[in-house]
């Protein structure tokens, strides 16, 4: 799996003694010229650059993001157990593990997923401020993470819980404008959430369906990652409107096509 990075220029070789305190993670960097460098990789916050010590070497190369076309990092072995803990309702046990992964893998492929799960755990625990802090650390390194990628929806949810609706709406507009269908699908789901958060009425349920959830269900079928949440939330809106047959239709699709998702297990 590759992660494409944006901005910056190739820097220079520096001695190992100048390494930052960030963890070094084994992986492969592909440069813009197609050269593959296997070795220990870390993100240097101050320099906003990657440091790579090639396998078998003792010199640290400093590469700016624009000089890199991709990064391949093995999936952290602790991640699956943490995900299982969250899915089983024991988010507290996963928090220390996710915090370590989010920190060690900052700008190294797995920070977005770990931070998303961590932020979701904090929101569920009633601490959106903590969720914002962990997300904003990633955003400081990669501003696009606020509206693109897997962490963004958790960041929006934390903002919404903190009553920062105008900030959420600004980011949703950026996500939709970005051209990424996945980002647009999740932005539409959050648009539905924003509408529902304004009041639990039949009118808000209708508007959330029209402007959010149903658009994802019908127009973004190819975005499989977004479908379970959209189907579940569409079903809840139809229930609110007393349209039980439409609600059951949404739930049947959810359980039939996405039975292993957390949304299919929700009441």
CATH number of the domain to which 63 belongs: 2.30.30.100
> Both 91 and 190 in a single domain?
yes
Determine the structural domain holding residue 22 and report its residue range: 10-72
Asked if residue 5 belongs to a domain, the reply is no
> Both 88 and 181 in a single domain?
yes
> Both 240 and 220 in a single domain?
yes
> Both 256 and 130 in a single domain?
yes
Of 29, 49, 72, the one marking the end of a domain is 72
Q: Where are the beta strands (DSSP E) in the chain?
A: 10-14, 25-31, 36-44, 49-54, 60-63, 68-72
pLDDT computed for residue 4 by the predictor:
40
> Both 189 and 244 in a single domain?
yes
List per-block mean pLDDT (blocks of 10 residues) for the chain, which spans 267 residues: 36 32 85 94 93 88 94 95 85 90 93 94 90 95 94 96 96 94 97 96 98 97 97 98 98 96 92
> Both 84 and 67 in a single domain?
no
Asked if residue 104 belongs to a domain, the reply is yes
Side by side, which strands form the sheet with 60-63?
A: 10-14, 60-63, 49-54, 36-44, 25-31, 68-72
What are the pLDDT digits (tens) for 109-121?
Answer: 999 999 999 999 8
CATH number of the domain to which 176 belongs: 1.25.40.10
Q: Are 25 and 105 in contact (CB under 8 A)?
A: yes
Asked if residue 4 belongs to a domain, the reply is no
Please count the structural domains in the chain.
2
pLDDT computed for residue 28 by the predictor:
96
pLDDT computed for residue 17 by the predictor:
33
Percent of the chain past pLDDT 90, that is, above it, reads: 80
Of 72, 100, 125, the one marking the end of a domain is 72
> Both 49 and 175 in a single domain?
no
pLDDT computed for residue 3 by the predictor:
43
How far is residue 98 from each of residues 25, 50, 119, 176, 236, measured CA to CA in Å? 16, 22, 10, 29, 30
pTM: 0.81
> Both 61 and 110 in a single domain?
no
> Both 26 and 92 in a single domain?
no
> Both 203 and 87 in a single domain?
yes
């Amino acid at each position: 799996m590759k992660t494409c990075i944006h901005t910056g220029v190739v820097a220079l070789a520096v001695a190992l003694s100048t390494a930052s305190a960030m963890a070094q993670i084994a992986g492969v960097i592909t440069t813009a010229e197609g050269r593959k460098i296997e070795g220990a990789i870390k993100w240097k916050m101050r320099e906003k650059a990657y440091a790579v010590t090639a396998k078998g070497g003792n010199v640290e190369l400093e590469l700016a993001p624009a000089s890199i076309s991709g990064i391949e990092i093995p999936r952290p072995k602790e991640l699956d157990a943490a995900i299982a803990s969250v899915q089983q309702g024991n988010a507290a046990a996963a928090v220390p593990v996710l915090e370590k992964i989010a920190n060690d893998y900052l700008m190294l492929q797995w920070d977005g997923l770990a931070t998303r799960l961590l932020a979701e755990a904090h929101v569920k625990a009633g601490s959106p401020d903590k969720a914002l802090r962990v997300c904003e650390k990633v955003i400081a390194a990669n501003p696009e993470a606020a509206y693109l990628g897997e962490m963004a929806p958790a960041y929006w949810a934390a903002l919404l819980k903190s009553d920062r609706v105008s900030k959420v709406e600004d980011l949703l507009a950026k996500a939709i404008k970005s051209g990424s269908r996945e980002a647009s699908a999740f932005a539409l789901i959050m648009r539905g959430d924003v509408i529902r958060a304004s009041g639990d009425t039949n009118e808000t349920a209708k508007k959330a369906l029209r402007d959010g959830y149903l658009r994802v269900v019908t127009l973004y079928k190819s975005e499989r990652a977004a479908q379970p949440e959209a189907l579940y939330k569409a079903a809840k809106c139809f229930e609110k409107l007393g349209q039980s047959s439409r609600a059951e239709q949404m739930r049947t699709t959810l359980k039939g096509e996405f039975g292993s998702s957390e949304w299919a297990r929700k009441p």
